[in-house]
Amino acid sequence: MHKDYLDGGQPLHIMLAYAPLGLVRATARQLRYDGMTVDTGMVTLDEQAEVELSFTHRHHDELITHRLRAQVVASSRGTAVLAFTDYARTTREILHQLIDGATTARRYARGLSRLPIPAWLIPQLPPGGRLA
C-alpha cells in the first residue's frame, strides 16, 4: 500500500543527509511502509548511497522530528527511490497514520507491548562521561 502525496494530499517535505552534498531538501511523491519516492529537484543521488532522512510531524501542539535511515535503490535526475533500513517504533506509527489514516495507526500502536531492558544492556558511562 502507498499514498501519493502530491496528487491531492498535503506534500510531505523532508531533509536528506547525503554525504557528498550535506543536506538536500526533498518532497515525498509516494510513501510506502518500506520506503518512499522523493523529488530532489536538480540533485541526483548516487544509487546504493546511504542517506538519513528527517521530517517533522505535528502531534497535538508540538512538532516532532522523525529520522529514518534509508538506501537509494534507484535514482534519476530529480527523483530517487529510497528503501528504509532503520527507524523507530514511533516513526512506524506515524508512517501508518500518514498512509492509512489516524484510526489504523491507533490499532497498530495499541498492540505493542513494552519489554523490560536488562540492566546489562544499558551502557554505564565512566566518570569522564564518554564511552570508549
Determine the pLDDT at residue 118. 62
Write out pLDDT tens, residues 79-106. 999 999 988 888 888 888 888 775 444 4
Inter-CA distances, 40 with 28, 82, 131, Å: 9, 12, 37
The yes-or-no verdict on residue 46 having pLDDT over 80 is yes
Determine the pLDDT at residue 129. 58
Write the CB contacts of 29 (distance below 8 Å, at least 6 apart in sequence): 4, 5, 6, 36, 37, 38, 39, 79
Determine the pLDDT at residue 1. 47
Q: Is the pLDDT higher at 63 or at 104?
A: 63
All three cell numbers of 41, joined, read: 529537484
Determine the pLDDT at residue 115. 57
Domains of the chain: 2-111 (2.40.10.220)
Residue type, 43: V
Determine the pLDDT at residue 56. 87
Write out pLDDT tens, residues 1-44. 455 544 446 788 999 999 888 899 999 988 888 899 999 999 99
Determine the pLDDT at residue 69. 93
Determine the pLDDT at residue 86. 85
